Amino acid sequence: MKIARLITVLKKEFIHIKRDRASLIMAIMMPVMFIFLFGYAVTTDVENINMAVLDMDKSQTSRDLISKFDVSNYFKINRYVNNLDEIETLIKDNIVKSAIVIPGDYSDRMFEGNGEIQIIIDGVDPNIASTALQNSMLIANNYSISLVGLDNIPSKIKVKSKVWYNPDLESTKFTIPGLIGLIMQNITVMLTAFSLVREKERGTLELLMVSPIRPPELIIGKMIPYIIIGGIDFIVALVLGTLWFNVDIVGSIPLLIVLGFAFVICSLAIGILISVFASNQAQAMQMTLLFILPSVLLSGFVFPREAMPILINKAGYLIPLTYFLDILRGIILRGSTIANLIDEVIPMVILTVFLITFASLKFRKKLD
């Protein structure tokens, strides 16, 4: 091996790297971005769990107890309701994850030494449910201990807990719907991320340039075959995931399939957008990884979004998978309807329209 020839190859390669500035910038920025992203997002310490309150006692004693939950770091009371039906709606709408029910005779029974409350918890996410269950018991017990000897209150509060939708807190029921969504996103994004790039590298883009095809027609035309493939993949993943792992679908299967196809279109639009920006397949792969890895963290696939800092949490709303995971878990586990999921469906549709429109506008029928 001659050093001179080796140096020549090295110089040539560095020239290529210098010319491909987009890949160089991504290679340098990826570790910086990921270390901060993973450092803040990867946590299982859940705080500020949204809680509803059904206070049928409406006494100073019940308000004191509610305040103990509200000032803790673990719960954030954001709804007061009048009946159990409202609690069920709030949980199905994914607005609250827990609720405290205080019976009408709570204060009277407290002075008799047998005060009782009920804690209702959404069991879809076992991690959040376990945290809510443990800390609600702890808060109630600490509060009751502080009352001993005061105002002639003789004993502690009894806490009855009720876990909805996943009473055994099985992690499989949480992970399988999420896994279906994640697999579909990754497959569909990668399917289309290389479509226009292949045209550029093979030189066939020139044929499209001289044709009367408009950018929207090209974008949609390239998406339709992959929509069919992605839709079939979604049904296969759904059937295998639910049947093999014994995860029963509580809600509407037709609604789930329709919204699944909508998510496939949204994910394919992301892949098309990557394909428009990438100059070659290496860049397309880097951009795909740059999108997929953060989406695993920020969407709530594994780590609860409630535990993330506010800016990291808000960033998750820019990722379609965030909404689709709520849709999957809502329909499969809670039996949610379209009315319950409207806050997830509308943003996902808006993102889809934006991505397709933006990709069409960025695509130009000319070579850079």
209 and 352 co-located in one domain:
yes
Question: Which conformational region is residue 67 in: left (phi greater than 0), alpha (psi within -120 to 50 degrees), or beta?
Answer: alpha
% of the chain with per-residue pLDDT over 70: 82
Residue 36 lies in a domain: no
Q: What pLDDT shows up at residue 278?
A: 84
84 and 189 co-located in one domain:
no
CA torsion 341→318→49→337, rounded to 10°?
10
Residue 167 identity (one-letter amino acid)? P
Count of the separate structural domains present in the chain: 2
Q: Per mean pLDDT, which range of 73-82, 97-106, 161-170, 205-214 is the poorest? A: 205-214
Q: How far is CA 86 from the centre of its chain?
A: 24
Residues 8-17 have pLDDT tens digits of: 666 766 676 6
As given in the structure block, the two tokens for residue 94 are 């994914």
Residues 272-306 have pLDDT tens digits of: 899 888 888 888 888 898 898 888 888 988 888 87
How far apart (Å, rounded) are the C-alpha atoms in residues 228 and 184?
A: 13
Please identify, among 164, 199, 220, the residue that sits at the C-terminal boundary of a domain: 164
Residue 110 lies in a domain: yes
pTM of the model: 0.84
CB-based contact 165:122 (threshold 8 Å)? yes
Q: Which residues of 252-288 are buried (b: 16+ CB within 10 A; e: fewer)?
A: eeebbeebbbbbbbbbbbbbbbbbbbbebeebbbbbb
How far apart (Å, rounded) are the C-alpha atoms in residues 55 and 106?
A: 9
**For the chain, what is the mean pLDDT?**
84
Residues 45-71 have pLDDT tens digits of: 788 899 999 999 998 889 999 999 999
Domain region containing 184: 171-362
Stretch 251-269: mean pLDDT:
94
Residue 107 lies in a domain: yes
Residue 87 lies in a domain: yes
Residue 324 lies in a domain: yes
78 and 141 co-located in one domain:
yes
105 and 244 co-located in one domain:
no
209 and 320 co-located in one domain:
yes
Residue with tokens 């340039």: 209
Q: Per mean pLDDT, which range of 78-92, 124-138, 139-153 is the poorest? A: 139-153
Rounded to the nearest 10 degrees, the angle between the axes of helix 281-298 and helix 171-193 is 160
Q: What pLDDT shows up at residue 108?
A: 84
366 has pLDDT over 50 = no
Q: Which residues pair with residue 161 across a beta bridge?
A: 119
As given in the structure block, the two tokens for residue 79 are 């709804």
CB-based contact 223:363 (threshold 8 Å)? no
159 and 259 co-located in one domain:
no
How far apart (Å, rounded) are the C-alpha atoms in residues 323 and 330?
A: 10
Is 148 or 334 the better-scoring residue by pLDDT? Answer: 334
Residue 35 lies in a domain: no
**What CATH number did the domain enclosing 60 receive?**
3.40.1710.10
Band (253; pLDDT cuts 50, 70, 90)? very high
Please identify, among 141, 164, 187, the residue that sits at the C-terminal boundary of a domain: 164
Residue 15 lies in a domain: no
Rounded to the nearest 10 degrees, the angle between the axes of helix 171-193 and helix 320-329 is 140
213 and 313 co-located in one domain:
yes
CA-CA distances (angstroms) from residue 44 to 53, 309, 311? Answer: 25, 12, 17
190 and 304 co-located in one domain:
yes
φ and ψ at residue 98, rounded to 5 degrees: -155, 165
145 and 221 co-located in one domain:
no
Is 87 or 31 the better-scoring residue by pLDDT? Answer: 87
Residues 142-180 have pLDDT tens digits of: 888 777 655 555 556 888 999 999 999 898 999 999 999
Please identify, among 137, 164, 191, the residue that sits at the C-terminal boundary of a domain: 164
76 and 192 co-located in one domain:
no
322 and 175 co-located in one domain:
yes
Residue 85 lies in a domain: yes
300 and 184 co-located in one domain:
yes
